[in-house]
Structures are given as structure tokens and as C-alpha cells.
């Protein structure tokens, strides 16, 4: 006879009754015997009920740091980072573009989202001194992957580059999501759920000098707290 279906093999592995014909076939069939053994091995592993432990957020940080130190020619950009570092020359071009993309473009938030994106949380990005809203940050779920989307009016300023950060509620820990190229008023950065769960919910955009220092410059332009 032909092999019984997977459901019958599953029932056999689970100790559920099956019909005699199937049962005697499996007894004499090597192929079914191997399938049954694999199902039993799976069941034995399930029955042990092993616990899982998520890594701390610093692990992802370290991965980003390690992969971002690679030369761009040897490897493409690490998560959330711009594919290349800005040179002064490219900034000059970016500034011109930046001047063209205005606040008005923020109204078109919908056109920037992926069509199947689900907005999980959002925050207005406001200046720290005057509280003026300069953009929006959203957490979107796109095909199961979380992304932080930044939509800001570009600020033509050749004095460095803009970098996007997630700051923890404890205001002590922070993670760099990557560069926000000037002239780009809409950009998304993939983030693991665990980061948000750990309390990294304050979106911050800083102005960074071109000094190869990876730490936050302390010069925050806008900030907003995601309501999660």
C-alpha cells in the first residue's frame, strides 16, 4: 500500500489510535519508520520544555558597532546605517537637496509608508529649546519586521551630519540607528522588538561633527517619545 499521510504518523508518535492497515504498514516500512523516529525525537525535545533567554540590548549594539567598523568597500552598510560615510563634497550636494525638501512634504506621510505597514506607535519630533515640531517618528511593522521611520524637514546645514538615536527611558543608555542623510526627509531603520521592550523609546536626532567619534555629540536637534 502507499504510505499513510503525515497526520497518521503524527498520531502514531503521539500514541493516538490509528487504523490497523496503516499501523502494520508503518511497522514494515523503513521510510515511515524514519519519519516516525524523527517525530518522536521532536516530541522528546518538546517534552523537556527548555527555557529561552533573550540577549540584552547591548548585544545588538555590539553587532552594529562591529559591522559598522568594516570598510564600505569590503562590506555594505550595517543595520540602519547609511551605506557610506558622508564626505564634505557629498554634503554640499545634500545641502542643496535639503533646501528643496520642505516641511510641506511631511503632510504626505502616507505615501512614504509601505502599503502593508502597520503603525505601532508614533511621536512628534520637536526641538528641545522651543518645542517646535519639526517632524514625525513612527514605529511600523512591515511584513513582521519593526522599523522606525523618521520624517523630518531637512535642515540645510553643512556643519556635519545628522544621526538618529533611540534613547532609553532611563536616559542613560542609547543606541545609534544610523545616519539621516541631509536632503532625505524620510528614512526607515530596522529595529528589533527587544530594543523597544527594553525601554528604548525616545527618538533623538543629533548633529554630529565629522570627527569619527561614534558617541552622541550632545547636540540634539529634535526629540520625541514614542507612545508604546
User: What residues numbered 7-46 form the site for other proteins, per CB under 8 A?
Assistant: 7, 10-11, 13-14, 16, 38-39, 41-46
Residue 191 Cβ vs other proteins, minimum distance, rounded to whole Å? 7
Closer residue to other proteins (CB): 3 or 124: 3
Confirm if 160 and 181 have CB atoms less than 8 A apart: no
Among residues 1, 47, 88, 215, the one that binds other proteins under rule CB under 8 A = 47
Largest Cα–Cα distance of the chain, in whole Å? 80
Confirm if 203 and 149 have CB atoms less than 8 A apart: no
Residue 92 Cβ vs other proteins, minimum distance, rounded to whole Å? 26
CA dihedral over 185, 61, 83, 157, signed as positive or negative: positive
Residue 219 Cβ vs other proteins, minimum distance, rounded to whole Å? 25
Query: Is residue 119 involved in binding other proteins (CB under 8 A)?
Result: no
Query: Is residue 160 involved in binding other proteins (CB under 8 A)?
Result: no
Residue 104 Cβ vs other proteins, minimum distance, rounded to whole Å? 28
Query: Is residue 73 involved in binding other proteins (CB under 8 A)?
Result: no
Q: Where are the alpha helices (DSSP H) in 107-174?
A: 109-112
Among residues 143, 172, 211, 213, the one that binds other proteins under rule CB under 8 A = 143
Among residues 24, 27, 34, 66, the one that binds other proteins under rule CB under 8 A = 66
Q: Is 211 exposed, middle or buried (0-12, 13-18, 19+ CB in 10 A)?
A: exposed
> What three-state secondary structure class fits 105?
helix
User: What residues numbered 121-140 form the site for other proteins, per CB under 8 A?
Assistant: none
Q: Name, in order, each residue with C-beta under 8 angstroms of 202's C-beta and a sequence gap of 6 or more.
A: 166, 167, 168, 169, 171, 223, 224, 225, 226
Candidate segments 22-30, 85-93, 141-149, 196-204, binder of other proteins by CB under 8 A: 141-149
Q: Which long-range contacts (CB under 8 A, 24 or more apart) does 209-218 make?
A: 209/159, 209/160, 210/86, 210/88, 210/160, 210/161, 214/65, 214/176, 216/163, 216/165, 216/174, 216/176, 217/160
Among residues 27, 33, 34, 63, the one that binds other proteins under rule CB under 8 A = 63
User: What residues numbered 80-99 form the site for other proteins, per CB under 8 A?
Assistant: 80-81, 83
Positions touching other proteins (CB under 8 A) are: 6-7, 10-11, 13-14, 16, 38-39, 41-56, 58-60, 62-63, 66-67, 70, 75-81, 83, 143-147, 190-194
Amino acid at each position: 500500500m502507499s504510505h499513510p499521510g503525515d497526520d497518521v504518523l503524527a498520531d502514531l508518535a503521539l500514541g493516538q489510535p490509528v487504523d490497523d492497515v496503516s499501523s502494520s504498514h508503518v511497522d514494515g516500512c523503513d521510510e515511515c519508520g524514519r519519519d516516525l523516529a524523527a517525530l518522536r525525537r521532536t516530541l522528546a525535545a518538546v517534552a523537556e520544555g527548555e527555557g529561552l533567554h533573550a540577549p540584552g540590548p547591548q548585544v545588538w549594539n555590539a553587532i552594529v558597532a562591529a559591522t559598522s567598523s568594516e570598510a564600505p568597500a569590503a562590506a555594505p552598510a550595517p543595520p540602519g546605517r547609511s551605506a557610506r560615510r558622508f564626505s564634505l563634497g557629498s554634503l554640499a550636494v545634500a545641502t542643496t537637496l535639503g533646501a528643496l525638501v520642505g516641511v510641506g512634504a511631511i503632510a504626505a506621510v502616507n505615501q512614504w509608508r509601505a502599503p502593508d505597514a502597520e503603525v505601532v506607535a508614533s511621536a512628534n519630533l520637536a526641538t528641545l529649546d522651543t518645542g517646535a515640531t519639526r517632524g514625525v517618528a513612527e514605529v511600523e511593522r512591515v511584513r513582521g519586521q519593526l522599523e522606525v521611520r523618521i520624517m523630518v524637514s531637512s535642515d540645510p546645514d553643512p556643519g556635519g551630519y545628522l544621526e538618529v538615536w533611540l534613547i532609553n527611558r532611563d536616559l542613560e543608555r542609547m543606541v545609534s540607528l544610523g545616519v539621516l542623510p541631509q536632503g532625505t526627509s524620510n528614512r526607515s531603520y530596522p529595529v528589533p522588538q527587544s530594543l523597544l521592550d527594553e525601554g528604548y523609546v525616545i527618538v533623538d536626532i543629533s548633529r554630529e561633527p565629522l570627527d569619527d567619534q561614534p558617541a552622541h555629540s550632545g547636540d540634539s536637534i529634535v526629540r520625541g517619545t514614542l507612545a508604546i
